[in-house]
Structure 1
Amino acid sequence: MSDVDKWDRGLTEHVVALSRPIVKRYFRSEVRGLDNLPPGASLVVSNHSGGFTSFDLSVFAVDYYDTYGYERPLFALGFDTIFAGPAGEFLNRTGVIRATRDNAAKALASGAVVLVFPGGDFDVYRPSMRENVIDFGGRTGYVTTAIEAGVPIVPAVSIGGQEGQLYLSRGAWLSRLLRLTKFERKFFRTDILPITFGWPFGLSVLAPVNVPLPTKIVTEVLKPIHIADEFGEGPDVEHLDALVRGLMQKGLDELARKRRFPILG
């Protein structure tokens, strides 16, 4: 049985119900523009925030299911390391699947909406000084996935999640200094050692994990990009990636202009 086939509607409903008071009361979350999702399958591409305790998926999922119900599952592509141990089965049952091309293709072929954070760990631990900068670290696989599946790309941008604590550095230099890079790449597929400052532990180098502040999180879904209609057969991957990131940067800049205060929103 593939990761996609393990989706459990009942468990997903239960998890969403438990997540709703956290994202709606603690983070006062809003998801705007869900009506921009086209009928059928689509690949939603978003920036990623909040470090180890990111709530980006929960924020999106609560409003998505409240809007569209559970007849149209939402899948999210996740980093390999989060599936270690018994957590893997639980995540699969709630729609979080390993970020492989086969999984993405199968989920999209089923007609589902698939959410991907191309920047992954590189993005989620971006320094606070660059919290409103779209940067996927050169990763463009999401474009190829959308082209091969023949589905539209739907850009989405989120603000607020990176205000839960101070992100001082991704710590790639620290990983090299401690000679952990090869180990991290082999076992965790990363080469960073994030340095943050927050509550209640203060300075943290990956661990202990600080509790995110109750920052207001706003996500906005932008207009879809219908690749075949707009670019024909065999579009250039790098050009499409630049277009998506450009639209997302414009959308994030607009959210930032409307945000009056950090954390409060």
Structure 2
Amino acid sequence: MGDNVVAKQLPGELAKWDPVFTRRVMGRMWPFMRLYFRAEVRNLEVFPPSGGALLVCNHSGGMLTPDVPVFGPAFYARFGYDRPLYTLAHYGIFIAPWGPLLPRLGVVHASPEAATAALRSGAVVLVFPGGDYDAYRPTLQQNKIDFDGRTGYARTAIETGVPIVPMVSIGAQETQFFLTRGTELAYRIGLPRIRAEIMPLTVGLPFGFTVFFPPNLPLPSKIVMEVLDPIDPKDFGKNPDIDEVDAHVRRVMQRALDRLAARRRFPVLG
């Protein structure tokens, strides 16, 4: 539906979401993602059937993360294109040549203001609290939920009164070998001044050993994303403690990720 009421009521980038364009892109993307990554999105039936919701997921796969391309088509296949899905993203991905097209797909610059406006309009917002810090976690820690102490998502859910829907993803961290985030190196060369706090070292194909650039192409690792039961911040009392909510969300996610990891027989193959 090109005449989307929700999007028209939203400010700035949020209003650029184009359901017709999104449908076209998702329709072409999903067959490839399903074939290449043998992708599965499980338990969407537990997702709130309507209204605003804050979807919280671990981030995986480095620069060419497949998280959104895998989840987006599955979400729209179940709920249709009258229900916007907004993804909060680091400003760096908008530098790419296709950056101006991303808001039309619901991918917008990450900010508390954008999340709050979208959630209060009744839209779904997908956040990766760990950001690039999480997406470049070392292979030896690939099944660890680590948001680097970031709890803003919990504050946003509490303030807007929407449920938090945890989701875990496994497989994308096997698309190449992640040696280190390079946090110390990043600080030594002053990258935090340009909002970059890591200098990751990875090994993959076709470029072998890389330091951030050029990005290696992802191996065809089997990717599974699993939606978990919604968490209502109101269950934590009249004035929920942000740290308590965050700790509970991460604990639930870690248990689910451990379960998926235990069932995974081989790297890449799944």
TM-score (norm 1): 0.95
Distance, in Å, in 2 between the alignment partners of 1:258 and 1:102 is 39
Identify the match of residue 191 of structure 1 among 191, 194, 197. Answer: 197
> What is the match of residue 248 of structure 1?
253
> What is the match of residue 7 of structure 2?
none
Counterpart residue type for residue 192 of structure 2 = R
Distance, in Å, in 2 between the alignment partners of 1:25 and 1:75 is 25
Residue deviations 1:129-185 (CA, integer Å, cap 9, x gap): 000000000000000011111100000000000000000000112224xx322xx22
Distance, in Å, in 2 between the alignment partners of 1:191 and 1:2 is 27
Structure 1 residue 109 displacement after superposition? 1.3
> What is the match of residue 22 of structure 1?
32
1:3 alignment partner, SS class: helix
Calculate percent identity across the aligned residue pairs.
51
Q: CA RMSD in A?
A: 1.2
> What is the match of residue 32 of structure 1?
42
Cα pair 2:186 2:192 within 8 Å, conserved: no
Structure 1, unmatched stretches of 5+, are: none
1:207 equivalent in alignment to 2:217: no
Counterpart residue type for residue 136 of structure 2 = Y
Seen in structure 2, the aligned counterparts of structure 1 residues 242 and 69 have a Cα distance that, compared at 3 Å, is same
Residue deviations 1:5-50 (CA, integer Å, cap 9, x gap): 1101111111112211221000010000111111311001000000
Structure 1 residue 86 displacement after superposition? 5.7
Distance, in Å, in 2 between the alignment partners of 1:145 and 1:231 is 15
Structure 1 residue 215 displacement after superposition? 0.3
Distance, in Å, in 1 between the alignment partners of 2:32 and 2:261 is 23
Distance, in Å, in 2 between the alignment partners of 1:74 and 1:244 is 21
Distance, in Å, in 2 between the alignment partners of 1:86 and 1:2 is 20
Distance, in Å, in 1 between the alignment partners of 2:222 and 2:269 is 6
1:219 equivalent in alignment to 2:219: no
2:12 alignment partner, SS class: coil
Structure 2, unmatched stretches of 5+, are: 1-10
1:258 equivalent in alignment to 2:263: yes
> What is the match of residue 114 of structure 1?
125
Structure 1 residue 232 displacement after superposition? 2.5
Counterpart residue type for residue 113 of structure 1 = V
Residue deviations 1:108-142 (CA, integer Å, cap 9, x gap): 11211110000001100000000000000000000
Residue deviations 1:71-99 (CA, integer Å, cap 9, x gap): 11111111122223764431111000111
Counterpart residue type for residue 12 of structure 1 = T
